[in-house]
Amino acid sequence: MCGIVGLLVKKPELRPRLGEWMVPMLKEMAARGPESAGLAVFTAPLADAERKYSLHAPDWGYDWGAFEGEFIKRFGPEAQLGVLGNHAILTCDESASVVKPWVRHAFPELHVLAAGRAMDIYKDTGNPVDVADRYRFAGLEGSHLVGHTRMATESAVTPDRAHPFTAGEDFCLVHNGTISNPFMIRRKLEHRGIEFDTDNDTEAACRYLAWRMGEGDTLEAALAHGFEELDGFYTFLIGTGNKLALVRDAFACKPAVVAETDEYVAIASEFRSLAHLPGVDDAKLFEPMPEEVYSWSV
Amino acid sequence: MERVAARAAANGELTFDLGQRTVRDLNQFLHHDLPDSGVRHVEVLHPGGRHAIAAGVNHPVDIDVRGHGGYYLAGMNKFATVTVHGNVGWGVAENMMSGVVRVKGFASESAGASGHGGTLIIEGDASLRCGISMKGIDIVVGGSIGNYSAFMAQAGHLLVCGDAGHALGDSLYEAVIYVRGRIRSLGADARIEEMTDVDHAKVRELLDRAGFAGEPEEFKRVASARQLYHWNADANQEY
């Protein structure tokens, strides 16, 4: 069991409320996944040449000053670092193909959780209620987000194996279910030079879909390929720079429910997660059908 | 709890606000205190999608749930009449023994699973696996049902006013299914059979019980071909 939540606000003036509306959703799903939680929030995108990177350090009191000093020494003083405990968001004008190898080499204890122009990621072990408070999720602003509460089945309980998983830029996925052939997928992708961070089954699905899109598929076409190649049970919720997408496998034994109003689209594993949302009594409520792709754009 | 019951007994009405109190409070009242309380009608407010609302009731009482319920609402129901003025999550009225459960909205997966008796009425759609392993319950769905419905259904009736999904009635035993709309596909050993006078009368009676419009002639009968009842070594594992 795991819990998924997603929220997209349709009006720009509601973006400051994104985190505030979402936190009760995530906390209500804590019982479905009490051991880790994570969230990807999509903000207004940076300028074309700029990038931001979500970084994760092994401990709360990490010396980010040393990292910032070395980064500026190497790449110049334009970089900015926003720190929250063991997480930091680095904003700079260097591409992922430069930053990721440099971080891996110079600061091997750090983990690059996300890269892109819009996406920030926070994820950690611990009860989702505590994780939400620890990273001040209620104060997050943006157009849309995806969140997850984890009950592990396929790999260890560590921060890097919490969801969301990312691949490429501004692309992430959360998953309720189990992929049965992650190593087959992984062998196929590693053969093509795609690197993996963990042994987690969801990461295999995430990198598979990102690979398909890199091959020219739309998100919808990538998911259709996934119906053929990803063996297992899943409800996937995917976030991109301007979109949320939701899909369930053919057996649809992992739940999801959607509430849509003029103000928002809200997605969760169970309705109780949505019950507090303003106007939910008059929302259009439905459950996604198996093997149908549902997507909403900002 | 005694104080609540005593206060309510005067007019036989009791209101439970799940915005203020827990499902456990509600169910403890329904299980233990209801029979001697004089309460004949319980209103449940602000259900908020919580699980197991009014599960395990074993007493004749009318219960109205004003909003959306979670999983296993009215599960194991015996004697009670439960009406949900909203949608329900997985396993509504699962293993019901008797009584009536009516859902005004839609029902998620496994509605009426393994139900032994009573009537489950869903005015909207029911999701996948509706009536899975049903054992005598009658399920009447105003809308459509999802894939794998009535899997291994043993006894009772499933009437669907809309369409049915894939693999309807896979590995059916003696439950009978009536479908008005399109059937996307039948499961192993399920087949469409001629409607008899007995079927027409049964459909009429089920529609009337649910309060749904319709004519028995519009429905198809799906029942077991009974080819899986005995092991067939020549089938080569293909059914």
- The answer, for A287 touching chain B at a CB cutoff of 8 Å, is yes
Confidence class of residue A158 from pLDDT cuts 50, 70 and 90?
very high
Q: Is the pLDDT of residue B5 over 70?
A: no
Q: What CATH number belongs to A3-37+127-297?
A: 3.60.20.10
- The answer, for B71 touching chain A at a CB cutoff of 8 Å, is yes
- The pLDDT assigned to B6 comes to 43
Contact flag B128-A271 (C-beta cutoff 8 Å): no
ipTM of the complex: 0.92
* SS3 of residue B41 by DSSP: strand
Q: What radius of gyration do chain B's Cα atoms show?
A: 19
* pLDDT per position as a tens digit, B43-101: 999 999 999 999 999 999 999 999 999 999 999 999 999 999 999 999 999 999 999 99
Q: A268 contacts in B (CB within 8 Å)?
A: none
Question: Cα(A191)–Cα(A143) distance, rounded to whole angstroms?
Answer: 36
Alpha-carbon separation of residue B134 from A104, B23, B95, B127 (angstroms): 57, 27, 8, 15
Region of residue B112 (left: phi > 0; alpha: psi -120 to 50; beta: else): left
Q: Please, is A153 exposed, middle or buried when counting C-beta atoms within 10 Å of its C-beta (0-12, 13-18, 19+)?
A: exposed
Architecture per CATH, A46-117: 2-Layer Sandwich (3.30)
Confidence class of residue B9 from pLDDT cuts 50, 70 and 90?
low
Q: Is the pLDDT of residue A256 over 60?
A: yes
- The pLDDT assigned to B8 comes to 56
* pLDDT per position as a tens digit, A3-61: 999 999 999 999 999 999 999 999 999 999 999 999 999 999 999 999 999 999 999 99
Q: A273 contacts in B (CB within 8 Å)?
A: 49
- The pLDDT assigned to B234 comes to 81
- Our answer to whether residue A2 is catalytic in this structure is yes
Domain spans of chain B? 45-235
Contact flag B49-A289 (C-beta cutoff 8 Å): no
- The pLDDT assigned to A60 comes to 96
Confidence class of residue B10 from pLDDT cuts 50, 70 and 90?
low
When mean pLDDT is compared across B20-24, B185-189, B229-233, the lowest value belongs to B229-233
Fold of B45-235: Pectate Lyase C-like (2.160.20)
* pLDDT per position as a tens digit, B138-176: 999 999 999 999 999 999 999 999 999 999 999 999 999
pTM assigned to the model: 0.94
* SS3 of residue A88 by DSSP: strand
Among A2, A92, A172, A206, the one annotated catalytic: A2
Among B71, B90, B147, beta carbon nearest to A290: B147
Q: What is the mean pLDDT of residues A227-255?
A: 96
Q: Report CA A220 to chain centroid distance, whole Å.
A: 18
- The pLDDT assigned to B4 comes to 54
Among B49, B51, B127, beta carbon nearest to A287: B127
| Mutation site for A-interface testing, chosen from B72, B73, B104, B108 by largest number of A Cβ within 10 Å | B108
Domain spans of chain A? 3-37+127-297, 46-117
Question: Cα(B77)–Cα(B95) distance, rounded to whole angstroms?
Answer: 7
